[in-house]
Each structure stands twice: as C-alpha cells, then as structure tokens.
Structure 1
Amino acid sequence: MNFSGGCDGVREVVAIGGGQSGLASAHAPVRTGLKPVVLEASDRAAGSWPHHYDSPTPFSPARFSAPPGMPFGGDLDRYPHRDEVVAYPTSYAARLQADIRTGQHVTAVGADGCGFTVEPEGGRQLSARAVVALTADSPDHRPMFTRLIDDRVPWTDGTTERLDALIPATGYRPHLPHLAGLDGTLGPAGHPRHRGGASPTHPGLEFAGPEWRRSLSSNALRGVGRMPDGGPAVAPCTLVRCVST
C-alpha cells in the first residue's frame, strides 16, 4: 500500500476490541517496538466473558487458553472459571505496553490515503495505517428461565414467548457494523471476508477471532494467540512493514 503525503501523526496499528483477541493482536506490534491503540467499548478490557452466565469455562485447559507473553497462573491443567477468564485480560492489559482506551465504541471505519479512519462514538477520529477488527461476539443474553409452560417460555420480565424448538447453544454471531462502509469487507450475515485473517479487498485490515483464521480454534481462547508456526496472532510484517511500504 502506498500512502500519500501529509500522514504525519497517523497511528501504525489500531485494534478494535479489548478482549483476549484484541490484546493478543496488540502484542505483535508491541514486540516490534510500536505502541498500538486498542479501543474497547466497555469500561474494561475483558471481552464478552463478563456477559456470560456464571458456569462457562474455556474449551481448553489453562495452558492452552492464554495469549502470548503471560500464561494463566496456578494449575495449567485446570479449566479456568469464568471469573478467572474475566480477570485475566485486566492483568494482561496492565503489562502490555499498548495505548488501551476503554469506553470507545467504534461506529465506523473508512479508508483514505493514509490507510484507515476509525471513528469512536462521541470521540476524536483516529487515522491508522493498519486496523485489526475483532469479530465481537454478540449474544442475545437474557436471564435464564426456570420452567416451560406447554410450548411457551416465561421470561423474568413477565413476558412469554412461543418456541418451536429449544436448542442449548451460545447464539454467537459476528458483530461488525462499523465496517459496513468498507466495500467488500463483509459477506452474508455480516461475516468477515478474509484469507488467513487478512482482508482481500483492503490491505492493512486484519481480523482476529473468526473461525479458520488459522484453524477451527481461532475463535476460542486456545487459538487467539497462535499461528501455525507458533508465532503471534497477528504477524508484525502484515500489520506494519508490509502495509507501510
């Protein structure tokens, strides 16, 4: 990608999302001496885990469930409790030499001669040579019902809803409306179009968190910090050197 003049002050890398995938993605440019910006919509860098029910654990033991640079403490063969997984990114973020900004809900990403523009809601627009977009699971989370009435489920707010079938599932789906302005970036149902995590239509745009970024586990804690060769989740060359020359 060739950048036009007048790009002084443009950030090298901006990651949208401060969960484990976003922090793992920021770790790669930090290793090259850069200070990426991580924008997190909530009030802390914890991803979607605070919004889960109390019982979930990662699919893999602790030894396989940490981003690069900081393993889970304690017994590495255990399956961490949800609260441990919520607390972990906070500790990881404190050690990561990145510019992490909470309360930054990104509403749009555009393209310009310097790379990309990133627009947080109610905040100042950022310019970046490269953007990492997290797939941002968006579950339809409601308080758990305790009974069924024939073919209807009574919710805690007093309403009832008829069900054709009840299937225990996470209900996750990609949530990337801020990329809608980048033509060709999203496919049917809002799924990101990518080849190994890289956008085929917008050089410098990377995705972290979708299935098959590197493997089936790329959307789980086990896979957010690994490439096939054991390197970082996002290759520094992809984000910095290869898109800025």
Structure 2
Amino acid sequence: MIDHQFVVIGAGQAGLAAARLLQRAGADFLMVDAEWAVGGSWRHYYDSLELFSPVRYSSLPEFAMQGVPDAYPTRDDVVDYLQQYRDHFAFPVKLGTRISSVTREPDRFVLRPENGTPMRAQKLIVASGAFGAPNLPQIAGQAVYLGRIAHSSEYRNPDAYLGQRIIVVGAGNSAVQIAVELAGHADVTLAVRDKLRFLPQRVLGHDIHWWFNKLRLNGLNLFSDQGVPIVDDGRYKAALRANRPPIRKMFRAFTADGVVWPDGTQERVDQVIFATGFRHAMDFLRPSGALDAHGQPLHRRGVSTSVRGLGFVGLSGQNGFASATLRGVGRDADYVIPRIAAM
C-alpha cells in the first residue's frame, strides 16, 4: 500500500514551493517537517536580519509577498509570509515529525519518523535545505579553550554580549552583519581567512536584483566557487573602514583563555562566534544510498543520480546562484518535480 504519491520533507521555503507545484499538478502529496510551524530556518535567524532582495523579488510561486515593492523584508516579514503562503493554499502538512531514516524499496520509499507510524510514498522530494547543520571548523587548541564557542545560528541580538571581548569568524554576509551590530555593544574583531568581497545593493539607480533579472543571471552559478559576496548599501563597508569592528587575519590557535594571532600575540577572549556556514543535514537518507561518503546528496540539478524517484529542492547552486532563495526555489521545484514524476 502506498500512502501518498509524493512526500515532501521540509516545510520551509523550498518545501512550500514544491508543494504548490505538486498541488497545481493535481498530485497526492504530504509535507512533513520536524518543526511545529512552517517556515524552516527563517524562524531561527537573528532578530535584525533583513533580506537583500526587495519585496518585489522575494516571493514563492503564484502568491506574492505583500508590502512596499522596494522595501527590504525583515526576518519576521518572511516568517509571516511563509505561514500565509501555506494557509492560502491549504497544503496538507504534518508538523512535529522528524524523519529518522528513508529506505528505498522496489516500488516505494519508506519514511520512518522518530515517533509514529512509517509512511510510504512513490516519489520523494527532500526540501530540508542546506542550513540544517552548523559548520564549526576545528582549530588548534580548541579543546582547552574555556570561553564560549558558538555558531552564528545561535545569535539573536547583542543583549547577551554587552561589554564582552568577542571574535566573529567569517567573511560572508552573516559574519559582517553580526560583527557590525555587535561592535556597538561589545569589543569585537572580525577574523577572516580571505579578503572580503562586496556587491553593491544598488547599481545605476536599480537594486542589484533588478539587474539579475534584466540580464537573466539568476540561472547562472556566478558565485559558486568563491561564495556569495556581501551585499551592501554602503553601511557595512563604512563601518569596517572606521574599524567598527576592526578586521584581522584569522587567529591560528586557541589558548585556555583566548586566541593566538598570526603574529604570535595572545589575547584574552570571552567568546568566539563562527559565522562559517552550514552543512547538509540529510543523514536520514543514508540508508537509501542517496548520499556520498561526505554526506552530500548525489544529484544533477536536484534530480538524484543514485536513487530513482528522489529529488531535491532548495540546494545552493542547484539551478543557479538564486537557488535556495525565496525567488529561486520555485524555479528549482519547477525543474525537479516533472522529472521525478516521469520516473
């Protein structure tokens, strides 16, 4: 017996986009998510987060985000929008359901939740995204450090950091935004391995996303090799030039109470925040043979190359640099779902 034609794992932006395309095609499907509300990772981002794309370029298929078209949505705006999206289309979703394993049988997938009855599906869409597991690098001496080590996913606002000596590690958007925000409340240094790269928010009077659309660049992997530049309207570059905070080359080791900088000087540090990205959290797929030895999905543009009937939506770079963004996941789903359905 097959419970559903499709099951979609994940009820964040990618899962919701996939759900709409399945619904439009008349498919029998169910979304499942470990959280107790839709919205995925958005509910866990820091309080002051704003999108780089304005409202007019920040929507899922067939239901536009409301607001001033050229305004930049906040984290809470996005969370509200994703809930509205689910409510508007009334997708079937089973929340509070964490899938612990997926196996592939000859004619079906079997999904086993941590608690509850196994589910069966003919086709499977994994839309749990690329932001499930924080990436924490291992640095020499880390085991002896007595201060706090955190990931940027744990950061919410500066209140808990007042007056502390803090190092933020990273050269991307989150690292710079968090470091600049904290610099007004604590003694902060931004530690980087590579030179910071900036992309202007506006070019010749238009938001950069207007140009991406105009020049049809969203489907290209412009930044896949070096990471996405820091999108800036000028405030972050100005703050860093004014040493708020200062930038230093990445420290080479931890000590019991701080770090050792490349020139050999030691400094006491209360806390280190790693804004060093995320890893895929798809261990539930290991029994199916869908992952490589490093836990990365085996796929081509979101279609599994090792498991028939399995697709991914919302992976970074899967169909261009706009993949894994609000404006890009619909395009990802539109590519993957018809190909999975035809198998």
Q: TM-score range with shorter-chain normalisation?
A: 0.7 to 0.9
1:226 is paired with a residue of what secondary structure? helix
Work out which of the residue numbers 83, 89, 92 in structure 1 matches 2:82: 89
Letter in 2 for 1:148: R
Is 1:233 matched with 2:325? no
Q: Which runs of 5+ in 1 are unaligned?
A: 1-7, 155-159
- Post-superposition CA distance 1:129-180 (Å, at most 9, x none): 11111235134433453421799x99xxxxx974568687352221111111
| 2:130–2:315 CA contact under 8 A, matched in 1 | no
Is 1:44 matched with 2:61? no
* Alignment correspondent of 1:131: 124
Work out which of the residue numbers 63, 71, 74 in structure 2 matches 1:78: 71
| 1:30–1:97 CA contact under 8 A, matched in 2 | no
TM normalised by structure 2 equals: 0.59
Q: Which runs of 5+ in 2 are unaligned?
A: 135-150, 169-185, 188-255, 262-271
| 1:25–1:234 CA contact under 8 A, matched in 2 | no
| 1:17–1:136 CA contact under 8 A, matched in 2 | no
Q: What does 1:59-74 correspond to in 2, within 5 Å?
A: 59-74=52-67
- Post-superposition CA distance 1:1-59 (Å, at most 9, x none): xxxxxxx4331110101001001011111111123100011110011011110111223
Between the aligned partners of 1:112 and 1:27, the Cα distance in structure 2 is: 27
Letter in 2 for 1:94: D
* Alignment correspondent of 2:21: 28
Q: Which moved more, 1:215-224 or 1:99-108?
A: 215-224
- Post-superposition CA distance 1:92-144 (Å, at most 9, x none): 11122431111011111110122211111111111111111123513443345
Work out which of the residue numbers 150, 165, 170 in structure 2 matches 1:148: 165
Between the aligned partners of 1:181 and 1:26, the Cα distance in structure 2 is: 25
Is 1:221 matched with 2:322? no
* Alignment correspondent of 1:4: none
1:104 is paired with a residue of what secondary structure? coil
Identical counterparts, % of pairs:
31
* Alignment correspondent of 2:314: 209
| 1:18–1:40 CA contact under 8 A, matched in 2 | yes
Between the aligned partners of 2:70 and 2:312, the Cα distance in structure 1 is: 29
CA RMSD, aligned part only? Answer: 2.7
Between the aligned partners of 1:65 and 1:211, the Cα distance in structure 2 is: 16
TM normalised by structure 1 equals: 0.81
Letter in 1 for 2:338: C
Structure with bigger strand share is: 2
Letter in 1 for 2:339: T
Q: What does 1:177-192 correspond to in 2, within 5 Å?
A: 177-183=283-289, 185-187=290-292, 189-192=294-297
| 1:13–1:239 CA contact under 8 A, matched in 2 | no
* Alignment correspondent of 1:3: none
- Post-superposition CA distance 1:199-229 (Å, at most 9, x none): 00112111111122111121222211125xx
The change in CA–CA distance for 1:125 and 1:234 in structure 2 (over 3 A counts) is: farther
Work out which of the residue numbers 122, 130, 140 in structure 1 matches 2:115: 122
Aligned residues: 224
Letter in 2 for 1:81: T
The change in CA–CA distance for 1:150 and 1:118 in structure 2 (over 3 A counts) is: closer
Q: Quick one: higher RCO (CA 8 Å, sep 6+), 1 or 2?
A: 1
1:69 is paired with a residue of what secondary structure? coil
Structure showing greater radius of gyration is: 2
1:128 is paired with a residue of what secondary structure? strand
| 1:199–1:206 CA contact under 8 A, matched in 2 | yes
Structure with bigger helix share is: 2
